[in-house]
Amino acid sequence: MKSQFAAGFVVLGLALAPAAFAADKAMDKSAPTKTESVKDAVKDSVITTKIKAEYAKDKVVSAMNIHVDTDAKGAVTLTGNAKSKEEAAKAESIAKSVAGVTTVKNDIQVTASTKK
């Protein structure tokens, strides 16, 4: 009797396995899980930090006046103010050179420098 009962569970398990596998595959096509979202956010913040660190090392680009936003798989948007077109171009060039960056949108405004 026990062996028939156990055999019934084995048969039931084998019968339901394809359905469970299909349900698992269907979940893969849906929205990213919380874990994947967190991993993407961390990856994006690492890219932003690397770009800002390169700006801090550069003598042309002001790390304080150029803002970096990284989203959606390495897409970077640069905003803020630059003293010259050369500074804006250099900021874009540095951002493009950082590992993990897929695209760079340069929305930096060039403003006339003022002496104090």
pLDDT digits (tens, 9 = 90+) for 75-106: 999 999 999 999 999 999 999 999 999 999 99
Predicted confidence at residue 49, as pLDDT, reads: 94
Q: Which residues lie below 8 Å from residue 48, measured CB to CB, with a gap of 6+?
A: 68, 69, 70, 76
Collapsing DSSP to helix, strand or coil, 103 comes out as strand
pTM for the model stands at 0.65
Domain borders along the chain are 1-30, 33-116
Residue 15 pLDDT exceeds 70: no
CATH number belonging to the domain at 33-116, selected among 3.40.1360, 3.40.1760, 1.20.120, 3.30.1340 = 3.30.1340
C-alpha to C-alpha distance for 12 and 48, rounded to whole angstroms? 52
What would the pLDDT profile of 33-69 be if each residue is shown by its tens digit?
Answer: 777 766 766 788 899 999 999 999 999 998 899 999 9
Distances (CA, A) of 65 to 51, 61, 88, 93, 103: 13, 8, 11, 16, 21
Predicted confidence at residue 115, as pLDDT, reads: 44
C-alpha to C-alpha distance for 5 and 79, rounded to whole angstroms? 68
